[in-house]
Amino acid sequence: MTGRKKVEEEYLEVIYELISEKGQARVSDIAEKLRISPASVTEMVQKLKKRGFVTQEKYSPIKLTEKGSKIAEIVRRRHDILKAFLQLLGINEEVAERDACEIEHNVNQETVKRLTSLIEFIQHAPESQEWLKKFISFHKERILSGEEF
């Protein structure tokens, strides 16, 4: 996947989040979330506009087009699934959040489907909870023994 696609997805995801959280997405809020300058955001918003992902009237909040919304929803869903999977493995929320945001742009849809099924399977099969606990202690023991991997 190209870097451009990753950046576009990142922006659409943030715009989607802002609209769900605050009801609107403004350049300053996007800049704050992505920790970049408002000027860079404005530049990228123009590109997203040209590509048909967002609309924006002068001095107004940014809106997602249907096409932009669709991508944002897919990315968001991938993010949630990946995060849930990583947390299931015992990874803390902060790291799971960050890693999910990295992986979400490069993951195959088939993988996402499998992970979704796996998460549901584990949640609904009590014996798998035991298996999971054993896995987490197995991992901790490996770390404690100083094993390199």
Q: Rule CB under 5 A: is residue 34 a binding residue for Fe ion?
A: no
Q: What binding mask, one character per residue, do residues 62-91 give for Fe ion by CB under 5 A, x or -?
A: -----------------x------------
Count Cβ atoms below 10 Å from residue 98 Cβ, excluding itself. 13
Tokens 């088939």 map to which residue? 110
On whether the CB atoms of residues 115 and 104 are closer than 8 A, the answer is: no
- Nearer to Fe ion by Cβ, of 109 and 145: the residue is 109
Decide: helix, strand or coil at residue 51.
coil
Q: Rule CB under 5 A: is residue 132 a binding residue for Fe ion?
A: no
Q: Rule CB under 5 A: is residue 118 a binding residue for Fe ion?
A: no
Of positions 101, 103, 122, 132, contacts Fe ion by CB under 5 A: 101
- HEC-encoded secondary structure of 86-111: HHHCCCCHHHHHHHHHHHCCCCCHHH
**Shortest spacing between CB 13 and Fe ion, in angstroms:** 5
Which neighbouring-strand residues pair with 54?
Answer: 64
**Shortest spacing between CB 49 and Fe ion, in angstroms:** 22
**Shortest spacing between CB 75 and Fe ion, in angstroms:** 6
Host H or E run for residue 20: helix 3-22
- Nearer to Fe ion by Cβ, of 31 and 101: the residue is 101
Q: Interface residues with Fe ion (CB under 5 A)? A: 79, 101
